């Protein structure tokens, strides 16, 4: 049985909207735990005294719900079920993007019935452009990510008495945080196979089919390139030049389209560069990070061999998970790994594998010398000893990831 992690960080955000007329939209990478979040919301409603007879649940990945995959058919079925339910209805509609013109049905339900609506989807375009306009701003979105290290640790503690935090972190570096992996703790090959299957499902269903991509081989080559260079600066033109060196001609615009498709499926996250002094967003040299580094290990490998990239990827996804807007900082000729901003305040984070020498310490801490504001500045590494200095905080990466909130 899968360990059920309560995912309280998400529930704290969702609770204020439970029972409101706003449509609650849960988006994120396939198999990242959106369906479980719906169950946690149902548990919350049960605790408030709402009986299951008022819940209406449909998962559109199930063949039995294929007849309802158009807006008129779904509206007719929901109308029938709502009429039969006592009192207010609570709608839980999983993978709603499978329903043609779903937004028309959902908006009509919101207008016509006394109901509380929760939907999930695995595509970033779910609420783009016309769809968002059609819903008229009457929704709120929550992005669900794979397990954080804290959630990964909790899942291990639920299934065993092992509370070895360093050992758990080493496993997290290799396995990542896809929730169902708690079933494979002692079976590394089954875990890798499961992650490869998720990857293939995302590539074929959420990218190839949805975006009508014909050259699947090219798509997978681009994905492999991005995985290999996660956290490194590159451009569509540099990828094009790489393919040219392999005697394959690919236009930069084609590469950009494929990268956008990967980001829309939540496989990759693109971070822009920001000039620290002017706070201007720069239009070149963006970086890409993968939603779950365990998928990188299963598909590409070499996580421990590229440990500096993986640690940076883990910190990036942790900041996004905590609701920060994240950019790459540029200060003169130097680069700060992450500027994380939320509620008008910011945090600076520099990530390193180890700080083995005075020269390395000087380099990693030195990026902050030209920044005169009073916002928190961190250097995060695998070092066990506290090397904080000059008001700049050093944290072991495990301790950093387990902070309930970043220190102000």
In whole angstroms, what is the distance from residue 241 CA to residue 335 CA?
A: 25
Q: What percent of the chain lies above the pLDDT cut of 90? A: 89
HEC secondary structure over 161-218: CCCCHHHHHHHHHHHCCCHHHHHHCCCHHHHHHHHHHHHHHHHHHHHHHHHCCCCHHH
**Is pLDDT at 185 greater than 60 in this prediction?**
yes
| 375 closest CA partner among 403, 347, 351 | 347
**What's the whole-number mean pLDDT along residues 23-43?**
96
In whole angstroms, what is the distance from residue 118 CA to residue 60 CA?
A: 14
How confident is the model at residue 3, as a pLDDT? 53
**What's the whole-number mean pLDDT along residues 235-246?**
94
51-88: burial string, b at 16+ Cβ within 10 Å, e else:
eeebbbbbbbeeeebeebeebebbbebbeeebeebeee
| 300 closest CA partner among 228, 216, 195 | 228
**Is pLDDT at 130 greater than 70 in this prediction?**
no
At residue 391, the 3 state secondary structure works out as coil
Kindly give, in sequence order, each residue whose CB lies less than 8 Å from that of residue 10, ignoring residues fewer than 6 positions away: 37, 40, 142, 144
Kindly give, in sequence order, each residue whose CB lies less than 8 Å from that of residue 12, ignoring residues fewer than 6 positions away: none
How confident is the model at residue 332, as a pLDDT? 93
In whole angstroms, what is the distance from residue 299 CA to residue 357 CA?
A: 34
How confident is the model at residue 129, as a pLDDT? 63
Answer yes or no: are the C-beta atoms of 41 and 14 closer than 8 Å: yes
Every domain of the chain and the residues it spans: 8-144, 149-402
Answer yes or no: are the C-beta atoms of 291 and 276 closer than 8 Å: no
Cα dihedral 79/80/84/85 (nearest 10): -40
For 36-86, write each residue's pLDDT tens digit.
999 999 999 999 999 999 999 999 999 999 999 999 999 999 999 999 999
Answer yes or no: are the C-beta atoms of 401 and 384 closer than 8 Å: no
CATH superfamily, domain at 8-144:
P-loop containing nucleotide triphosphate hydrolases (3.40.50.300)
HEC secondary structure over 121-158: ECCHHHHCHHHHHHHCCCEEEEEECCCCHHHHHHHHHH
Q: Per-residue confidence at 1, pLDDT binned at 50, 70, 90? A: very low
At residue 349, the 3 state secondary structure works out as strand
């Amino acid at each position: 049985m899968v360990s059920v992690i309560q995912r309280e960080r998400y529930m704290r955000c969702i609770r204020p909207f439970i029972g409101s007329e706003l449509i609650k939209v849960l988006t994120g990478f396939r198999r990242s735990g959106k369906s479980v979040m719906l169950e946690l919301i149902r548990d919350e409603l049960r605790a408030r005294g709402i009986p299951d007879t008022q819940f209406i649940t449909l998962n559109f990945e199930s063949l039995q719900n294929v007849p309802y995959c158009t807006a008129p058919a779904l509206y007719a079925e929901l109308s029938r079920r709502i009429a039969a339910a006592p009192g207010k209805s609570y709608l839980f509609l999983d993978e709603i993007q499978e329903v043609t013109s779903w937004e028309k049905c959902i908006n009509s339900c919101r207008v016509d019935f006394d109901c509380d609506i929760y939907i999930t989807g695995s595509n970033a375009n779910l609420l783009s452009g016309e769809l968002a306009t059609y819903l008229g701003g009457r929704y709120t979105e929550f992005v669900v990510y794979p397990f954080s290290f804290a959630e990964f640790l909790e899942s291990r503690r639920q299934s065993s008495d092992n509370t070895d935090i360093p050992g758990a972190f080493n496993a997290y570096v290799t396995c990542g945080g896809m929730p169902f992996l708690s079933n494979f703790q002692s079976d590394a090959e089954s875990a890798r196979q499961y992650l490869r299957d998720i990857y293939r499902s995302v590539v074929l269903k959420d990218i190839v089919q949805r975006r009508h991509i014909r050259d699947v081989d090219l798509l997978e080559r681009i994905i492999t390139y991005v995985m290999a260079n996660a956290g490194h600066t590159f451009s569509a033109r540099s990828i094009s030049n790489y393919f040219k060196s392999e005697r394959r001609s690919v236009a930069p615009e084609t590469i950009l389209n494929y990268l956008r498709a990967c980001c829309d499926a939540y496989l990759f996250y693109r971070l822009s560069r920001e000039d620290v002094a002017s706070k201007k967003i720069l239009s070149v040299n963006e970086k890409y990070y993968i939603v779950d580094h365990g998928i990188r290990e299963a598909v590409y490998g070499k996580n421990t061999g590229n440990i500096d990239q993986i640690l940076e990827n883990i910190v990036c996804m942790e900041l996004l998970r905590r609701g920060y807007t994240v950019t790459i900082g540029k200060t003169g000729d130097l680069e700060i790994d992450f500027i994380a901003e939320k509620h008008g305040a910011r945090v600076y984070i520099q990530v390193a594998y180890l700080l083995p020498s005075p020269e390395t310490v000087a380099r990693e801490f030195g990026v902050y010398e030209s920044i005169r504001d009073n916002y928190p500045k961190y250097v995060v590494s695998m070092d066990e000893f506290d090397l904080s200095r000059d008001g700049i905080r050093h944290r072991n990466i495990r301790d950093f990831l387990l902070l309930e909130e970043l220190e102000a």
